[in-house]
Amino acid sequence: MPNTNVSRINSRTGRDAVRGRRAGNRRVNREQAERRAFVDYTLVVAVLFLTGFGLVMIYSTSSYEASVQFGDSSYYLRKQMLAAALGIVAMVIVAMLPYHFWERVAFPIYAVSYVLIFLIIPFGHEANGAKRWFRVAGISVQPAEIMKIAVILFTAGLIVRLGGKRLRTGRGFALVLLTGLIPALLIRGITDNMSSAVIVFGISFLMLFVAAPDYKRFALIVGFVAVVALVAVLVVMNTPEGSGAWRLERIRAWMDPASYASGKGFQTLQALYAIGSGGLFGKGLGQSVQKLGFIPEAQNDMIFSIICEELGLVGALAVISMFVIMIWRFMVIADSSSDLYGGMIVVGVMAHVSIQVILNIAVVTNVMPNTGISLPFISYGGSALVCMLMEVGLVLSVGRGIYIQDL
């Protein structure tokens, strides 16, 4: 009998041990499931929606001009579809790579982007009076778009290396600021591309603004720029025409586009006509009148005006809402990133998208002078779309370093 009791106790103890191991395994599996890598499907959907919507609007906007110039209404659509396909593939590849890989190659990419800018001088392709592209196997590549990615990666790494203490010093602050200012000046001087220069400098400036603990310097810089801009506008408006201020005719056209309706103000006026005629719900997809030769190359910088004309205020607000959702997801990923480098990458991408969207809409609505800034994911331009999708891939890569239970 005693032996029987001992065997029963041992059997019961063994079953308890097995149950304990199974419960422990289930708990570990549950914890592992909770720590699975984070994929921001909201961001993915927003990006794919804007890219697909951009293809629809490019066809709607450019079909007339493409038929007249090339005898093929889908000419611009096919080229943009190819860029979208390449961009999505690049986005997935970049998203699968660990984002710290880019920390090791950031400086070489930054240096190569400088070389590409200089190579425009002997090898650049000129179009519409501007020399900003390379033609490679029939494909146009714009080095300024590559420079934007390079500035994001290099500035993020520099901020991490300097740390908070060195960023407080004037030398560290100036060093980070120069990472965007020098390439911006080169882009402006070599390619005469003021819009890209503003964006490149704006990216580094906003990344530094988020990283640096002292906001006094930023207030001084913003105040100085605002005063200079105001003085410049006042000087231009009070200088008689033909007295050497002809290069600043764009500012005059911005202040009074109706007086320059046959020149610099023509495109702006036609865009405002398109926006005003769209009303609340628009004329309907494909029913724009202004795209029929009134707005030159409407599929590029002025595509937002055609969105307003065809889809109305409701359609315009829907597009803006998608950008707001995208920027919100950027903020969530940046705030939850596992380290400073990942957070700074996301801040850089967020700065790029935000600046470009705000400036494009401001130009189309004549809030600021016309500087030729495209609308991200929607305007026609293969290099811009591919590079922008690669930047989203960087954000998704940072997101994969976040685990569900850490959110």
Q: What is the pLDDT of residues 150-198, one digit of tens each?
A: 999 999 999 999 876 777 777 888 888 899 999 999 988 888 888 899 9
Q: Is residue 37 part of a domain?
A: no
139 belongs to a structural domain: yes
Asked whether residue 38 is domain-assigned, the answer is no
Q: Which residues pair with 125 in a beta bridge?
A: 133
Asked, for residue 18, whether it belongs to a domain, the answer is: no
Q: Which residues of the chain have pLDDT under 70?
A: 1-37, 128-129, 137-138, 164, 236-237, 240-248, 403-407
Q: What is the pLDDT of residue 134?
A: 81
pTM for the whole thing?
Answer: 0.87
16 within some domain: no
Counting the structural domains of the chain, the total is 1
List phi, psi (to 5°) of 337: -60, 150
The answer to the question of residue 4 being in a domain is no
- Domain membership of residue 305 as a residue range: 52-406
Residue 240: the pLDDT is 66
Position 5 scores a pLDDT of 53
Q: Is residue 1 part of a domain?
A: no
**Rounded distance, CA 175 to CA 171, Å?**
6
pLDDT at 125: 77
Residue 32 lies in a domain: no
Query: Residue 147 has what pLDDT?
Result: 94
